[in-house]
Structure 1
Amino acid sequence: MKIRKATSKDFKDMLNIWKECISTICEFLTTSEINKEVEILEQKYFDTPETKCFVQVVDDKNVGFVCIRDKELLFSPVLPSFFGKGLGEAMVKYLFENHDIDTAYVYCSDMHSLAFYTALGFIIDDRIDDIFFDNRYKLNRLKLSISPKEAAERIAAKKKSS
């Protein structure tokens, strides 16, 4: 598995990853809401100066990506066929070590992602309106309850023990 900065050549794959991941874990979203999110994601968050995006590559295939702004993790989808294989943890560990991420956002109804982030040391800080896609669903703003360094060490220790 390799993590690298995303380029415009990755955007089509990233949109497909988003659509497949969101369709799987956010069953409450309608098809039209997902399509709207795909459009907004490309227009507002890819290739903008304030947002950095990285892709995860396995066997020369993009299987996940993240977008960050300052110390905020905005999006972190992984292809569902790669769930449970440690890719999400590897990506977040990379962000802890290289970008001091301390904030993340998940839909309040997305229990899968909420469980993932709380296991890494995040806690719910606030429930807010959707600041990304302007839809009717609330978001949990998550804050890291430990330092990014401690969180990265927690992931490394978990990986060693498994």
Structure 2
Amino acid sequence: MIRKIEKADYPRMIEIWTSAVEHTHDFLKREDFEYYQEQLPSYFEQVNLWGYVQEGLLVGFIGVAEESLEMLFIHNDYRGKGIGKILTRYGMDNLKVSKVDVNEQNVQAVGFYTHLGFGATGRSEYDGQGKAYPILHMSL
């Protein structure tokens, strides 16, 4: 089930983010991981958030701003079960998502978005925080 995220979900969302990033972003320096983790509540405030609930537990979420998928995180215990695809398609079908920026070093994510029909349209050497993590800009 997909539902709108509420502020009360933020602690669980931080758990989901932590689990997902620890298992998919092995290129992140520890101090950067901690920096981003601290910033999460302010990031959450900048996007429309939707979550996937399974058996009463929030297990993944997306954040959308305008037509851009800004966040997609699935708790590692639930990865590989189609939840990311369901959430992304929800964004595409209901929230007009047509763009996504993805860490170039996160090869699994690049492949995931490519499989869903996104193609690279550009590249930046630095992420939105000015850190040296190359970003692929992708569009449908």
Global fold match (TM > 0.5): yes
Q: Is the 8 A contact 1:75 1:105 kept in 2?
A: no
Asked if 1:122 corresponds to 2:130, the answer is no
Query: What whole-Å deviation, never above 9, does each CA across 1:25-56 have from its counterpart, x for those lacking one?
Result: 1101122211111122212x2134xx201111
In structure 1, how many angstroms separate the alpha carbons of the residues matched to 2:18 and 2:11? 11
In structure 2, how many angstroms separate the alpha carbons of the residues matched to 1:111 and 1:27? 11
Q: Which runs of 5+ in 1 are unaligned?
A: 145-162
Normalised to the residue count of structure 2, the TM-score between the two structures is 0.94
In structure 1, how many angstroms separate the alpha carbons of the residues matched to 2:89 and 2:116? 9
Partner in structure 2 of residue 149 of structure 1: none
Deviation of 1:93 after TM superposition, in Å, equals 1.1
Give the 5 Å matches for 1:1-162: 2-43=1-42, 45-48=43-46, 51-128=47-124, 129-131=126-128, 133-144=129-140
Deviation of 1:16 after TM superposition, in Å, equals 1.2
What is the letter of the counterpart of residue 76 of structure 1?
Answer: L
Partner in structure 2 of residue 157 of structure 1: none
Moved more, 104-113 or 28-37: 28-37
Q: Is the 8 A contact 1:108 1:137 kept in 2?
A: yes
Runs of 4+ deviating beyond 3 Å: none
In structure 2, how many angstroms separate the alpha carbons of the residues matched to 1:38 and 1:58? 24
Deviation of 1:136 after TM superposition, in Å, equals 1.5
Count of residues paired in the alignment:
139
What is the letter of the counterpart of residue 136 of structure 1?
Answer: A
Partner in structure 2 of residue 152 of structure 1: none
Q: Secondary structure of the residue that 2:23 maps to in structure 1? A: helix
In structure 1, how many angstroms separate the alpha carbons of the residues matched to 2:130 and 2:44? 17
Query: What whole-Å deviation, never above 9, does each CA across 1:102-137 have from its counterpart, x for those lacking one?
Result: 001110100010010000000111111211x33221
Q: Secondary structure of the residue that 1:29 maps to in structure 2? A: coil
Q: What RMSD over aligned residues (CA atoms) do the two structures have, in Å?
A: 1.1
Q: Is the 8 A contact 1:8 1:47 kept in 2?
A: no
Q: Is the 8 A contact 1:52 1:67 kept in 2?
A: yes
